[in-house]
Structure 1
Amino acid sequence: MKNPLLVFDENGIYCEQAKVYLDPWHPVDCAIITHGHADHSRYGHKKYITHHTNVPIIKHRLGDINVSGKSYNETFVINNVKFSLHPAGHIIGSSQIRVEHLGEVWVFSGDYKLEDDGVAIPFEPVKCHTFITECTFGLPAFKWTPQAEVFKNINHWWASNKEEKQTSILFGYSLGKAQRLLKHLNTDIGKIFTHGAIENMTEVIRPMVDFPETTRITRETTKQELLGNLVLAPPSAHGSTWIRKMVPYVTASASGWMAFRGARRRRAVDRGFVMSDHCDWQELLTAIEATGAEKVICTHGYTEIFSKYLRELGYDARTETTQFEGELSESDTKEIKEAV
């Protein structure tokens, strides 16, 4: 029996024929990176390859690294192995990685979602024999409300708070979620203020996306300036000294985990909006079916439950342990500390 095209070892997902890793979690010579979140793009690799829109993002996060950018559907060959990047729809610059050798095709999806968020290039299914999938929200209980309805509710919440002369503080991860929120907030209601970590990342992405105007919160920002307006902040800012100047305020969190009863209480926020940059249960099944894959490898999330269900559907499905963390690890703690 021939060796599999991709294997999971102590450093990450490895293509032995090409001597290349996909989203490795320990330093390696050559890494192909799906997107800019901290659990997928780590410091210390000698060479990085990623989508060209992700290049400024990971340079912002990781500093002066040796990185080259590729376009979607552009084939590049390493030691006779063909690679290409394809839209994942997760966040801006996110990719699936297609790997082909001797007629065999594998696709590593990284993180992905099917709904078009208006910021990232939408997910495109890629035909393959083996599909490596996340299942962050791989339970039937997860079913997302259409984005338009969620943003209608967010903007109504903001407008109501303004009538009560309160500041609206909306928590979302500094890369991905924050820009998605920013893109769809109704600036007719008021001004949008940002935490430094979100403003820094948005400045990197702004040349690529049409965002509304934002104002960075500084030590000079007054409570009166914020009243009735909206503040975008990373989840780690909640409960910090940074938000004390904003009283009176109302808090909300935008996350897939808000679908769980009790999640809002555990995060100590006043309102929860269910919105994720990952697939829900049905979207995962739809995406996998669209690939035509016979073999499916589940890497992070509800792996055992989801892979068991896939086997019941007739797939050759199994799990692999990785250091990917899905929506639990989409903020950069170092970056946030530096921005406060």
Structure 2
Amino acid sequence: MKQSDLLVFNSKGIYCPKAKVYLDPWRPVNQAIITHGHSDHARYGHKSYLTHHSNIPILKHRLGDIPIQGMAWNEPFQINGVTFSLHPAGHIIGSSQVRVEYKGEVWVFTGDYKDEDDGVAVPYEPIKCQTMITECTFGIPAFKWKPQAQVFEEINQWWQGNKEEGKTSVLFGYSLGKAQRILKYLDSSIGKIFTHGAIENMTEVLRPQIQLPPTNLITRETKSKEIQGGIVVAPPSAHGSTWMRKLVPYETGTCSGWMAFRGARRRRSTDKGFVISDHCDWQGLLKSIKTSEAERVICTHGYTDIFSKYLREIGYDASVENTDYEGEADESSNSTIQEVS
């Protein structure tokens, strides 16, 4: 990168020198613009936070009483002469892209994003720019998502089959984003929906923003017979824990983009894998970049080398920058810290 660039990467995060503000910094800074509430993008310790209004309850739930300001979608605001605005990223509730403009030069930092409208997050909005900083968590051709309606039909059929066999269905998904997307499309006519404490706590934070079916929190007082035949939504950290004992007999399922890989289900020791992700697949990434009309693309986390090489082959000025963002893998690796209750 050049020192004259509007956004640069340093040891603390993505920095705008002209505005003296960071985007999703991974070390404490004075002023931070936060794209969304996942732990790899929203860290504790900054002196001030700015994010979309709908992300504020999430950040306060995860980070406590922090100094925070909320902005609306497409609402320009200036910091030291640089114009910023937040735009829907479609990743999870409250997720934003950050548009940065100075003297006619426009950069966009996507944060994490997906181009499929999931009916939960505000849909992804393409933004015209000269330079795009994009994730590429699933940036190889092997990743191609089915329409989510098809996946949730598979999930509900799986639940129905397990119920007929007298088994409880246990679905693993991250407490923020994935879990609410799962809950939104479960067919409650099949049976009762139960939740792990980490899922329930985050879902209660988000209920004012999205219509979700009734859920039943599993507590120490919950009897095994009450759960049998129902479906339980739990974080990955619950898999293999003593918390699972009262769910016996059960079948397990994991909701993740990584389930597209042969062998991923076996490595995670889960009975069933459902390919559902809150990130773009290969075609979604390429489509989003093309729609942006960007000439320069900076790839951050994921299959950066493969994806940037392909972009160069088809005519883009593409490069790679290292960050502390790890996309879907990050939420899994941090689940033992964030989601045990």
TM-score (norm 2): 0.98
Q: Please list the CA deviations of residues 4-43 of structure 1 after superposition, one character each: whole Å capped at 9, or x if unmatched.
A: 0000000000000000000000000000000000000000
Distance in 2, matches of 1:20 and 1:2, equals 16
Residue correspondences, number: 338
Distance in 1, matches of 2:323 and 2:116, equals 25
Instruction: Please report the RMSD computed on the Cα atoms of aligned residues, expressed in angstroms.
Output: 0.9
Amino acid at match of 1:235: P
Alignment of 1:18-33 (within 5 A): 18-33=19-34
**Per the alignment, in what secondary structure is the counterpart of residue 74 of structure 2?**
coil
Q: Hey, what does 2:130 align to over in structure 1?
A: 129
Distance in 2, matches of 1:229 and 1:135, equals 36
Q: Hey, what does 2:142 align to over in structure 1?
A: 141
Q: Hey, what does 1:9 align to over in structure 2?
A: 10
Q: Does the 8 A contact of 1:258 with 1:264 survive in 2?
A: yes
Q: Which runs of 5+ in 2 are unaligned?
A: none
Q: 1:186 deviation in Å?
A: 0.3
Q: Hey, what does 2:227 align to over in structure 1?
A: 226
Q: Hey, what does 1:195 align to over in structure 2?
A: 196
**Per the alignment, in what secondary structure is the counterpart of residue 119 of structure 1?**
coil
Alignment of 1:9-88 (within 5 A): 9-88=10-89
**Per the alignment, in what secondary structure is the counterpart of residue 339 of structure 2?**
helix
Distance in 2, matches of 1:2 and 1:142, equals 35
Q: 1:334 deviation in Å?
A: 3.2
Distance in 1, matches of 2:195 and 2:241, equals 15
Q: Please list the CA deviations of residues 269-304 of structure 1 after superposition, one character each: whole Å capped at 9, or x if unmatched.
A: 000000100000000000000000000000000000
Say which of 333, 336, 339 aligns to 1:336.
339
Amino acid at match of 1:131: M
Distance in 1, matches of 2:338 and 2:71, equals 26
Q: Does the 8 A contact of 1:175 with 1:330 survive in 2?
A: no
Q: 1:2 deviation in Å?
A: 6.8
Q: Hey, what does 1:177 align to over in structure 2?
A: 178
Q: Which runs of 5+ in 1 are unaligned?
A: none
Distance in 1, matches of 2:146 and 2:181, equals 15
Q: Hey, what does 2:319 align to over in structure 1?
A: 318
Q: Please list the CA deviations of residues 184-238 of structure 1 after superposition, one character each: whole Å capped at 9, or x if unmatched.
A: 0000001100000000000000001000000111000111001000000001100
Amino acid at match of 1:186: D
**Per the alignment, in what secondary structure is the counterpart of residue 220 of structure 1?**
coil
Distance in 1, matches of 2:219 and 2:329, equals 28
Q: 1:329 deviation in Å?
A: 1.7
The ranges of structure 1 where at least 4 consecutive aligned residues each deviate by more than 4 angstroms after the TM superposition are: none
Distance in 2, matches of 1:196 and 1:123, equals 30
Q: Please list the CA deviations of residues 157-208 of structure 1 after superposition, one character each: whole Å capped at 9, or x if unmatched.
A: 0000000010000000000000000000000001100000000000000001
**Per the alignment, in what secondary structure is the counterpart of residue 330 of structure 1?**
helix
